[in-house]
């Protein structure tokens, strides 16, 4: 709300007045519309009064769709609601996005913003605008206890699994190269790069986190590499995170279309939420 | 009504309404805060317990898992032992299948170090070469069976645990087993649900769990809610803070909750608000009702008096009612009675308040205790079942081990040496292995026993195993304490055979079933009852059924003592007992139930609710007093009335006030207006305005009474719909409390009375309605019916309530015969009255409305009761006759009566003239007197009397008119005679002048004496015959 300029407000007010004048004949409906648009001037500048947000449906604590109720719950859902509230939207429409399609959905304008465990990365910054980070996370490696792996060095010659579409695979390759685990050269790969052989390790990619987790359970892969936030959903007593191995620290931000009208407002709103500890409170609530 | 009065009444009504609201709010608040406080206390304690219980459950899970793993690790070890000792082992698929059957596992594999399968009993989804199974390969390093590796992939229908044991440095055996059994065990004993299921708070309170991570309800007694989103179910995220208490909503139900955060789960203790409200609202409702009745009675009385006075203002003595105090004046006439009403009402409120609080407190405690004791009983039952199951289960497990041992010995009898048996015992994870030959002589063992032969003495523990030598395949002995050490020990034997199948002896396992021992320990009564929480300070104890001693009591010193020695009564030891008990001089409120071996009690001190009674009652009383005082002041004090208004009031028209039915009677030294006798038995409804203020208040109070009775009646009928099961109400009606002089019995008696009264009132009303359309006999029968219903209801209530109050009704009924005898002696009259009444009714001697004459009294029958008959003599006097005294009745209703007059005429008068006048005039008389049905008739001369000739005139008329008509006829005759100058003789007094009489001279006196003497002498002879001579003189008077 603080971002409204005098000129915008003038336009909005004018629009409100016009709406009022146009509908002066009808009483109730007309006046309520008029006052509504008058009281939330920002709505008139957006395409509608609904903010369409792409969220995850499978990450407990961030964006989780309760099949029973058809509602989403989680930190990101609360952030999206608060964001819409601060931007003056009346409604929020959630759309489930997957790592595979979230990029397209935003580019095509199916959603106005992504609040979907979307980490801020240089490659992504070329296509999108990101708000300040609302959550800091790490990409980590999870192993089964029964494999008796304790350090990354135990995993020489082993199979690493990632989720295709996530940026864990390239980050992993870089990281393994950096720590001298591997020379980073691809020895062989299948056609869609879902099974790549490196010098001391093999990379297998799965279309979903569930399949990734199942592969780990079965033993097809020896470790899975994924975002810490997401890993929470798939952790159990039989698994642990490799202590000495962090692939990448990353931060989740709200993504909007590059240079769109919405970008600065979203950035300001998120910054506002960070400044007044709203986000901290929400993180507290969901942890 | 004056404006002044109107203002006053409005003010009063406002005060009453305000008092009701204040009282209602106060009571509801106090009640619910008290309940909440109580629950909160209980929940706090429960939270502490929960922590312990959850930890125990976790411990249980760990133990169960270890136990389960140990079994299958042992199986892997058994196969390894066979392989290492050449005891019927081969690295073939067929052998694997055989061993799988023997060991009762899901699958058996032999693999090399890398996990390549060398032999298998069946296909598996597992690829043991994966690093996933590194834990199995650990056995090569440790030389011990490996830890379990579990794979759970529900999509692939794959849930298995894997155990490995090293055979040699290159091969290992892997056991595949589905852990469903373990899962079920954990679900039953170690899961959160298994813990929470057994916790209850108050009556219907429970604990549910919400995951702190995703806010999904992980446990709730309502299975439909498990897995639901807590927020969606209505919970507010902001409420979910550790230690937070308050009203929360789940699934549309209001709950009083306390949140406890433990780990990443919120445990929420919840008590339905309806629970608190239901019982509380009955209490509050009753107190409020009584309070309302009291304050309304006082107020209405005041208003009635004031209005009454406004009408009588002009009457004499009106001003005497007032005492002036400056600008105010004090109305004495209102004050006295209003004060009495207020004080009585105040006491009523206090008593009812205290009574209801007691009832509420005790019943909720009873309900809680009952609930708890039932729970304990079922726990005991369950744990006994579990103990049996466990014993059996362990027996089976050990048998399986023994069979393996026998298999091994069969295949390689060489192994019957101390060292090899020790290895075998290790693989089997048991303590001792013994081998016996076919004569029952021990051949080898790993134990310290030597030279042991099976006993020949049937009393000895080992004797039983001789059966094995006589053809029994196996024997599982019950665990029993060891003769030497007293430790629980179990022996299992399985026969061994040589290659030809000949019996060679048997293998016996000696087991120290520590785990079983522990488990059996847990299901002991002490363990079940220890830590039972009932309310804030409740506890549980058990009494042996057989000898009446304490089997468990929180104070260890008490265990083993006789219950009756500690203050308990014999009749308290029974199923379903619920009342006060005294133990060691301390009083507890307890509930009991019966299990197969024990009476289990849950007892607690009176609790906070009971302690809070007095303050609550006093608070209620103070509020009531203040309200009553305000009303009283408003009623009695008045501003001095302006004069002009008084005159205006005086003009109020006196609406034809028929006060005939209201009479003044003297009660003590006071004049009270009362209904006249005649109108009391007539069911004419009163004109409200005619009533005195006292009557009006009486009527209003009766309305309140009836309303209360009807409400109770309806509440009883619709108890389930209104209060639900297990409510205070159902508890009282259910009658599971002790018979005797206690508050429940009294309440139930009152409730029963209400029910019976309502029903009898309804029947009476119906009968009255029927009677209004029936003829006289019908009316009479209906009246009788009403009486019978009335008495039957009374007697029924009496008997029932006596029964509830603990009087033995069977004895009562039995003594009824005796009672009847006693009564029939004492109340013989009543019996004869009743019988006479029945005869009157059924023989139809007379009916209601008849005019009868009985014993010189005459009147209209008003009512034929069971005992008495009431007759109105026509002048408003009610004659109450006992039915048995009604004899020689003249029923004067059936035909017309005659009014007869007799008139005397002078002898000198011409009879013919009179008769001719009569013939002319009699028709005229009929015209003048409409009561005459026929006549008048001239009946001729009835007597020629001393002074007159009497003639008689009769006229036919209705009996009720007879008296009046007779008088009228007399009048007519007099007028008639006057008109025609016919004189009616009447006694005339003739006054004479006094005469001076001469005195006798002396000579005359002497002559007279002489004459008398002569006469006597002359007549002497006749005296005896004519004694009565003189009597003759007086007999001819007519």
Interval B365-384: pLDDT, tens: 777 777 778 878 887 887 78
* Of B904, B918, B906, B901, the residue nearest B980 (C-alpha): B918
Distance CA B411, CA B721 (A): 73
Quick one: average pLDDT of B92-103?
88
Residue in B127, B156, B227 nearest the CB of A219:
B127
Q: What is the interface size between A and B, counted as CB pairs within 8 Å?
A: 74
* Of B988, B979, B983, B907, the residue nearest B948 (C-alpha): B907
- E strands of B561-693, at which residues? 578-583, 586-594, 598-604, 637-639, 662-667, 670-675
Distance CA A135, CA B201 (A): 41
- Mean pLDDT, chain A, rounded, equals 79
**Three-state SS string across A220-232, please?**
CCCEEEEEHHHHH
**Three-state SS string across B288-333, please?**
HHHHHHHHHHHHHHHHHHHHHHHHHCCCCCHHHHEEEECCEEEEHH
**Residue B520 vs residues A72, A155, B459, B526: alpha-carbon distances, Å:** 48, 47, 25, 12
Distance CA B323, CA B419 (A): 118
Residue in B134, B228, B231 nearest the CB of A146:
B134
Report, in this order, helix, strand and coil percent for chain B, each rounded to 5.
55, 20, 25
- Indicate left, alpha or beta for A180 from its phi (over 0: left) and psi (-120 to 50: alpha): left
Interface of B with A (CB under 8 A): 125-127, 130-136, 138, 147, 149-153, 155-156, 158, 213-216, 227-229, 231-232, 237
Residues 6+ apart with CB under 8 A from A277: none
**Chain A partners of B239 at a C-beta cutoff of 8 Å?**
none
Residue in A73, A146, A222 nearest the CB of B214:
A73
Residue B194 has pLDDT above 60, yes or no: yes
Residue A25 has pLDDT above 50, yes or no: no
B234-263 pLDDT tens trace: 787 777 888 888 888 888 788 888 888 887
pTM: 0.64
Does A219 contact B135 at a Cβ distance shorter than 8 Å?
A: no
Which pLDDT score, from 0 to 100, does residue A227 have? Answer: 85
Most confident of A100-104, B764-768, B770-774: B764-768
Q: How far is A37 from chain B (nearest CA, A)?
A: 31
**Chain A partners of B213 at a C-beta cutoff of 8 Å?**
60-61, 232, 286-287
- Indicate left, alpha or beta for B187 from its phi (over 0: left) and psi (-120 to 50: alpha): alpha
The CA radius of gyration of chain A, in Å to the nearest whole number, is: 23
Helices within B93-179 (DSSP H only)? 93-103, 134-142
**Spatial contact of B435 and B509, defined as CB atoms under 8 Å apart:** no
**Chain B partners of A60 at a C-beta cutoff of 8 Å?**
213-214
Does B153 contact A219 at a Cβ distance shorter than 8 Å?
A: no
**Residue B560 vs residues A160, B377, B543: alpha-carbon distances, Å:** 67, 21, 9
Quick one: average pLDDT of B40-47?
81
**Residue B887 vs residues B855, B873, B877: alpha-carbon distances, Å:** 8, 17, 20
B303-355 pLDDT tens trace: 887 777 777 665 555 555 566 666 666 777 677 777 888 888 889 888 888 88
DSSP assignment of B526-542 equals HHHHTT--BTTTBEEEE
Distance CA B748, CA B741 (A): 11
Distance CA A78, CA B290 (A): 53
In CATH, A137-251 is 2.130.10.10: no
Residue B455 has pLDDT above 70, yes or no: yes
Distance CA B335, CA B329 (A): 12
Burial annotation A158-179 (CB, 10 A radius, 16+ → b, else e): bbbbbbbbbbbbebbbebbeee
The verdict on ipTM greater than 0.85 is: no
Q: How far is A39 from chain B (nearest CA, A)?
A: 29
Quick one: average pLDDT of A2-19?
41
**Roughly what angle, to the nearest 10 degrees, separates helices B809-826 and B828-843?**
80
Residue B136: burial class (beta carbons within 10 Å; 0-12, 13-18, 19+): buried
Residues 6+ apart with CB under 8 A from B542: B525, B529, B550, B551, B552, B598, B599, B600, B601
Which pLDDT score, from 0 to 100, does residue A143 have? Answer: 92
Nearest CA in chain A to B156: A214
- Mean pLDDT, chain B, rounded, equals 79
Tell me which H or E stretch contains B488.
Answer: strand B488-497
Residue A20 has pLDDT above 60, yes or no: no
Quick one: average pLDDT of B930-944?
80
* Of A273, A56, A232, the residue nearest B214 (C-alpha): A232
Distance CA B966, CA B900 (A): 6
B621-674 pLDDT tens trace: 888 888 888 888 887 776 655 444 444 333 444 444 444 555 666 655 555 566
Does B131 contact A64 at a Cβ distance shorter than 8 Å?
A: no
Residue B487 has pLDDT above 80, yes or no: no
Q: How far is B151 from chain A (nearest CA, A)?
A: 6
Sign of CA dihedral B795, B796, B797, B801: positive
Does A147 contact B152 at a Cβ distance shorter than 8 Å?
A: no
Sign of CA dihedral B785, B786, B792, B795: negative
Query: Is the N-terminal amide bond of B445 cis, ω within 30° of 0?
Result: no
Distance CA A268, CA B550 (A): 74
Distance CA B925, CA B187 (A): 111
Q: How far is A104 from chain B (nearest CA, A)?
A: 29
Q: How far is B81 from chain A (nearest CA, A)?
A: 25
**Spatial contact of B219 and B209, defined as CB atoms under 8 Å apart:** yes
Q: How far is A102 from chain B (nearest CA, A)?
A: 24
Burial annotation B23-61 (CB, 10 A radius, 16+ → b, else e): bbebbbebbbebbbebbbebbbebbeebeebbeebeebb
Does B147 contact A146 at a Cβ distance shorter than 8 Å?
A: yes
Distance CA B850, CA A15 (A): 96
A49-134+253-285: CATH number: 3.40.190.10
Residue in A68, A158, A214 nearest the CB of B131:
A158
| Vertex B573: Cα angle to B570 and B576 (nearest 5) | 140
Quick one: average pLDDT of A252-275?
89
Residue B99 has pLDDT above 50, yes or no: yes
Tell me which H or E stretch contains B942.
Answer: strand B932-944
Residue B283 has pLDDT above 70, yes or no: yes
Distance CA B423, CA B78 (A): 10
Interface of A with B (CB under 8 A): 60-61, 64, 66, 68-69, 71, 73-74, 144-149, 158, 214, 216-220, 222, 232, 238, 285-287
Residue A89 phi, psi dihedral angles, 5° rounding: -80, 150
**Spatial contact of A112 and A52, defined as CB atoms under 8 Å apart:** yes
Task: Provide the Cα torsion B578, B582, B587, B592; round to 10°.
Answer: -20
Chosen from A219, A220, A242 to mutate, greatest number of chain B CBs within 10 A: A219
Which pLDDT score, from 0 to 100, does residue B822 have? Answer: 65
Distance CA A58, CA B535 (A): 44
| Vertex B554: Cα angle to B518 and B581 (nearest 5) | 135
Strands B878-882, B890-891: pairing is unpaired
Burial annotation A115-138 (CB, 10 A radius, 16+ → b, else e): bbbbbbbeebeeebbbbbbbbebe
Strands A91-96, A50-55: pairing is parallel
* Of A56, A60, A57, A55, the residue nearest A234 (C-alpha): A60
Quick one: average pLDDT of B112-119?
88
Distance CA B658, CA B653 (A): 14
Distance CA B511, CA B505 (A): 19
Question: Boundaries of CATH 3.40.190.10 in chain A?
Answer: 49-134+253-285, 137-251
Tell me which H or E stretch contains B80.
Answer: helix B3-85
| Vertex B141: Cα angle to B137 and B145 (nearest 5) | 65
């Amino acid at each position: 709300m603080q971002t409204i300029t005098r000129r915008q407000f003038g336009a909005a007010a004018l629009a409100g007045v016009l709406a009022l004048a146009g509908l002066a004949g009808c009483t109730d409906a007309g006046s309520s519309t008029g006052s509504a648009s008058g009281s939330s001037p920002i709505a008139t500048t957006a395409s509608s009064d609904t903010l369409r947000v792409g969220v995850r449906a499978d990450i407990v604590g961030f964006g989780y769709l309760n099949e029973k109720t058809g509602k989403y719950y989680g930190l990101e859902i609360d952030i999206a609601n608060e964001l819409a509230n601060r931007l003056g939207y009346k409604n929020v429409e959630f759309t489930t996005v997957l790592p595979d399609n979230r990029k397209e959905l935003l580019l095509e304008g199916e959603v106005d913003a992504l609040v979907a465990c979307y980490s801020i990365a240089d490659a992504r910054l070329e296509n999108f605008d990101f708000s300040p980070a609302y959550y800091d996370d790490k990409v980590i490696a999870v192993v089964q206890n029964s494999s008796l792996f304790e350090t990354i060095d135990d995993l020489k010659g082993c199979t690493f699994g990632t989720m295709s579409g996530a940026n864990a695979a390239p980050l992993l390759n870089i990281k393994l190269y950096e720590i001298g685990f591997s020379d980073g050269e691809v020895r062989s790969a299948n056609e869609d790069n879902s099974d790549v052989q490196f010098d001391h390790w093999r990379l297998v990619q799965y279309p979903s986190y569930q399949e990734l987790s199942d592969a780990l359970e079965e033993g097809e892969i020896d470790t899975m590499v994924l975002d810490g936030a997401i890993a929470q959903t798939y952790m159990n007593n039989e698994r642990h995170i490799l202590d000495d191995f962090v692939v990448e620290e990353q931060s989740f931000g709200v993504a909007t279309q590059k240079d769109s009208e919405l970008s600065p407002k979203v950035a300001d709103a998120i910054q506002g939420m960070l400044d007044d500890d709203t986000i901290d409170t929400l993180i507290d609530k969901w942890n | 009504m004056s404006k002044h009065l109107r203002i006053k009444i409005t003010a009063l009504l406002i005060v009453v309404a305000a008092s009701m609201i204040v009282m209602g709010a106060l009571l509801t608040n106090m009640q619910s805060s008290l309940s909440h406080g109580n629950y909160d206390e209980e929940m706090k304690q429960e939270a502490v317990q929960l922590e312990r219980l959850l930890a125990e459950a976790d411990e249980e899970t760990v133990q169960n898992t270890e136990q389960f793993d140990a079994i299958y690790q042992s199986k892997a070890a058994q196969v390894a032992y066979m392989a290492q000792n050449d005891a019927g082992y081969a690295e073939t698929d067929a052998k694997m299948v055989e061993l799988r059957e023997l060991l009762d596992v899901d699958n058996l594999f032999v693999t090399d170090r890398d996990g390549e399968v060398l032999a298998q009993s069946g296909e598996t989804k597992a690829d043991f070469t994966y690093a996933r199974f590194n834990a199995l390969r650990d056995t090569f390093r440790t030389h011990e069976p490996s830890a379990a590796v579990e794979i759970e992939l529900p999509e692939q229908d794959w849930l298995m645990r894997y155990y490995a044991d090293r055979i040699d440095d290159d091969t290992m055996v892997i056991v595949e087993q589905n852990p469903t059994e373990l899962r079920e065990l954990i679900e039953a004993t170690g899961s959160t649900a298994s813990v929470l299921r057994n916790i209850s708070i108050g009556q219907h309170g429970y604990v549910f769990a919400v995951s702190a991570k995703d806010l999904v309800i992980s446990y709730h007694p309502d299975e439909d809610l498990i897995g639901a989103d807590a927020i969606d179910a209505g919970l507010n995220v902001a409420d979910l803070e550790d230690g937070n208490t308050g009203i929360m909503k789940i699934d549309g139900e209001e709950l009083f909750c306390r949140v406890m955060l433990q780990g990443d789960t919120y445990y929420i203790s919840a008590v339905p608000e309806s629970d608190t409200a239901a019982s509380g609202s009955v209490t509050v409702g009753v107190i409020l009702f009584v309070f309302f009745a009291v304050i309304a009675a006082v107020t209405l009385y005041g208003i009635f008096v004031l209005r009454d006075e406004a009408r009588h203002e002009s009457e004499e003595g009106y001003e005497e009612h007032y005492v002036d105090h400056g600008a105010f004046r004090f109305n004495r006439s209102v004050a006295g009675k209003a004060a009495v009403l207020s004080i009585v009402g105040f006491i009523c409120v206090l008593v009812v308040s205290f009574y209801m609080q007691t009832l509420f407190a005790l019943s909720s405690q009873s309900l809680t205790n009952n609930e708890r004791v039932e729970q304990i009983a079922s726990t005991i039952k369950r744990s006994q079942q579990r103990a049996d199951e466990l014993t059996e289960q362990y027996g089976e497990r050990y048998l399986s081990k023994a069979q393996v041992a026998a298999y091994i010995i069969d295949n390689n009898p060489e192994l019957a040496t101390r060292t090899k048996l020790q290895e075998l015992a290790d693989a089997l994870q048991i303590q001792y292995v013994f081998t016996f030959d076919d004569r029952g002589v021990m051949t080898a063992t790993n134990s310290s026993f030597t030279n042991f032969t099976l006993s020949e003495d049937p009393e000895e523990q080992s004797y039983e195993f001789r059966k094995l030598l006589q053809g029994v395949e196996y024997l599982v002995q019950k665990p029993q304490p060891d003769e030497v050490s007293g430790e629980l020990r179990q022996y299992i034997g399985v026969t061994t055979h040589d290659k030809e199948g000949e019996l060679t002896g048997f293998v016996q396992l000696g087991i120290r079933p520590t785990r079983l021992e522990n488990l059996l320990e847990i299901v002991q009564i002490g363990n079940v009852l220890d830590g039972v929480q009932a309310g804030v300070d409740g506890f549980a104890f058990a009494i042996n059924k057989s000898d009446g001693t304490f089997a468990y009591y929180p104070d260890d010193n008490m265990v083993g003592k006789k219950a009756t020695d500690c203050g308990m009564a014999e009749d308290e030891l029974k199923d379903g007992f619920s009342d006060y008990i005294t133990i060691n001089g301390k009083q507890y409120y307890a509930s009991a139930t019966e299990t197969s071996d024990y009476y289990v009690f849950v007892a607690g001190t009176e609790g906070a609710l009971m302690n809070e009674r007095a303050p609550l009652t006093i608070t209620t009383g103070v509020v009531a007093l203040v309200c009553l005082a305000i009303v009283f002041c408003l009623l009695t004090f008045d501003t001095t009335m302006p004069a002009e208004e008084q005159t205006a009031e005086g003009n109020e028209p006196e609406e034809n006030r028929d006060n005939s039915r209201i009479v003044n009677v003297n009660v003590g030294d006071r004049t009270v207006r009362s209904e006249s006798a005649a109108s009391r038995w007539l069911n004419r409804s009163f004109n409200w305005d005619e009533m005195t203020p006292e009557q009006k208040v009486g009527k209003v109070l009766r309305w309140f009474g009836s309303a209360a009775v009807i409400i109770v009646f309806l509440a009883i009928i619709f108890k389930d719909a209104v209060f639900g099961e297990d409510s205070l109400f159902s508890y009282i009606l259910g009658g599971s409390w002790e018979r005797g002089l206690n508050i429940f019995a009294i309440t139930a008696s009152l409730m029963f009375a209400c029910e019976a009264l309502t029903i009898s009132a309804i029947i009476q009303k119906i009968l009255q309605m029927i009677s209004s359309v029936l003829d006289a006999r019908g009316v009479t029968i209906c009246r009788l019916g009403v009486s019978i219903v009335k008495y039957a209801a009374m007697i029924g209530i009496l008997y029932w309530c006596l029964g509830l109050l603990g009087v033995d009704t069977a004895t009562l009924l039995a003594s009824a015969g005796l009672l009847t005898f006693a009564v029939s002696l004492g109340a013989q009259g009543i019996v004869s009255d009743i019988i006479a009444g029945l005869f009157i009714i059924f023989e139809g001697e007379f009916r209601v409305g008849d005019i009868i004459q009985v014993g010189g009294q005459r009147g209209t029958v008003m009512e034929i009761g069971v005992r008495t008959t009431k007759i109105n003599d026509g002048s408003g006097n009610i004659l109450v006759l006992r039915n048995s005294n009604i004899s020689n009745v003249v029923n004067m209703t059936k035909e017309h009566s005659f009014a007869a007059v007799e008139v005397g005429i002078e002898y000198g008068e011409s009879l013919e003239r009179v008769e001719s006048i009569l013939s002319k005039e009699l028709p005229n008389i009929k015209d003048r007197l409409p009561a005459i049905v026929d006549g008048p008739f001239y009946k001729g001369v009835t007597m020629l009397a001393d002074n007159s000739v009497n003639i008689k005139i009769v006229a036919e008329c209705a009996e009720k008119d007879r008296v009046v008509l007779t008088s009228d006829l007399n009048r007519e005759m007099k007028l008639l005679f006057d008109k025609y100058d016919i004189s009616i003789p009447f006694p005339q007094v003739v006054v004479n002048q006094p005469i001076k009489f001469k005195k006798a001279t002396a000579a005359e006196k002497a002559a007279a004496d002489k004459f008398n003497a002569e006469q006597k002498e002359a007549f002497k002879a006749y005296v005896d015959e004519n004694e009565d001579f003189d009597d003759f003189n007086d007999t001819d008077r007519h």
